[in-house]
Structure 1
Amino acid sequence: MTIAASARFEFRLRPEAKRRIEEAAELVHESTSDFARTAAEERADQVLHQHSIATVVPADFFEELLRALDAQPRPNAALQRAARRARDVVERR
């Protein structure tokens, strides 16, 4: 089932922008309304997609993460045991 477009969106343009849109719409055999609507919808989709894939964290969390990544690694007990097991496996072969 197709839903008919009924909402309106109006805006003003500079004359040269209007001429470019009209020319481009004519080249692809679309009405200026369809051309402008499609362009606006595609741009909205791009912006929404970009914002949905970005993870926003507080600045102090991000700074703490960067400090942790820059710090010298300090192996914990589990990591030391895993390294010993790995050495034993490699040395036996």
Structure 2
Amino acid sequence: MATKTERIEMRTDRDSGAKIAQAAEREQKSVSAFVLDAATSAADRVLARSEHTIMPAKQFDELLQSLDEPAAAPALTRLARRERRFIRE
């Protein structure tokens, strides 16, 4: 278990504080431990959603197929074929 050296403070209204204290008691945890567990779980979910992209399999297959088949870009093709104005020697 990691040594706890960081401190987080928060304010709450009476009803929320009482609800949290009651839930902590039912879980046989201190309020601090209960809040830390809940906040850590929520943070894990948020970070997982932001680090991974989840999509249906069909959409993923279409994405991969679109990467394998280059789109027509006539303007870019014309620009790439133009004679260069400057040549590095």
TM-score class, shorter-chain normalisation, is 0.5 to 0.7
**Structure 2: how far apart are the matches of 1:10 and 1:3?**
19
The residue that corresponds to 1:27 in the other structure is: 26
Partner of 1:6, secondary structure, is coil
**Structure 2: how far apart are the matches of 1:28 and 1:47?**
24
The residue that corresponds to 1:49 in the other structure is: 48
1:16 shift after superposition: 0.5
Q: Report % sequence identity.
A: 30
**Which blocks of at least 5 consecutive residues in structure 2 are unaligned?**
55-62, 67-89
1:14 shift after superposition: 1.3
RMSD (Å) for aligned C-alpha atoms: 1.8
**Structure 2: how far apart are the matches of 1:3 and 1:21?**
24
Aligned residues: 56
